[in-house]
A = this chain, B = another copy of it.
Amino acid sequence: MPKISEQQRQARRDQILAAVWPCFLRKGVHATSMEDIIRESGLSAGAVYLYFKGKDELILTAISTYLGQLRGLLLPVLTREEALAPLPFVHEVASAIAKHTKRAGIDLNAVILMGWSEAQTNGAVKALVTEFQTKYRDALTAVVRQWQRRKHVRAEADAEAIAKALLSFFLGSIVQEALLGDADPATLTRGIEGLLGTSVPKGPPGGKGRRRR
C-alpha cells in the first residue's frame, strides 16, 4: 500500500497552510471562504479536506504553526545561557518578530492580532495562545532573575511583575506596529531606555495591597 509518505503529506499540508495567511490577512479569518483558500492553494476542494478536517482545523493549525515559528524566533534569545543585558535584550526580542515578517513576507504582527481576537471566542485557539504567553512570560521572569543576580535590577523587586510589564511592552509593540507601523525595535528600545532613567520620586499610589515593604 504505497500511501503517500509522511514527508509528502507534510508538504501538502504546508502548501495549503501557505495559502491560509495571505487569505486571512487580505479578508480576515472569518470572511475568508474555503474557496479563497482552495484557489490560493492551487488544489481542489476535496484535496484540502483530505489534509484538514475543516475550516476550524485549518484556522487552528494556521495559528498554531505561526506560534511555532514565533517560538523558534524567541527561544534562542530567551533561553541564552547568559541573558543579554536589559536594553540589548529588549532590542533583540523586539527585532525577532520584525525580522521574521521581513523574511516570510507575511505581516506577523497582523497575524498575531488576528490570533488574539480569534482566541476570544475559540477555546482551542485560546488554549494555544495563553499557553504560549504563559511560557513566554515564565522565560522573561527567569531573565529578570538573572538581571537581579547581575544587579541590573534591584534584588527586592518583584520579578514576576517585571516580567508582566516587559511582556506588555512586547505585546503592545506588536499592536502598535500592526496599526501604526512606526514602532520599530530601535524606537521601542530607545523609549524603554528613556523610561529606565526615570526617577521615582514618591511611592506609587497606595492601591489595595500595593506596597510591599
Binding site for B on A (CB under 8 A): 25-31, 84-88, 90-92, 95, 110, 113-114, 116-122, 126, 129-130, 133-134, 137, 144, 147, 151-154, 157-159, 161-176, 178-180, 182-183, 185-205, 207-212
Contacts and interface: CB of A to CB of B under 8 A. Distances in A.
B195 A165 contact: yes
A116 B119 contact: no
A189 B179 CA distance: 25
Q: Work out how many copies of this chain go into the complex.
A: 4
A135 to B, nearest CB: 11
Nearest to A86: B198
A179 B91 contact: no
15 contacts: A87-B202, A87-B204, A113-B113, A114-B117, A117-B117, A117-B118, A152-B201, A153-B194, A153-B199, A162-B191, A164-B187, A164-B191, A168-B172, A168-B191, A186-B209
A66 to B, nearest CB: 14
A47 to B, nearest CB: 12
Contacts of A163: 191
A211 B1 CA distance: 55
Contacts of A201: 85, 152
A197 B161 CA distance: 13
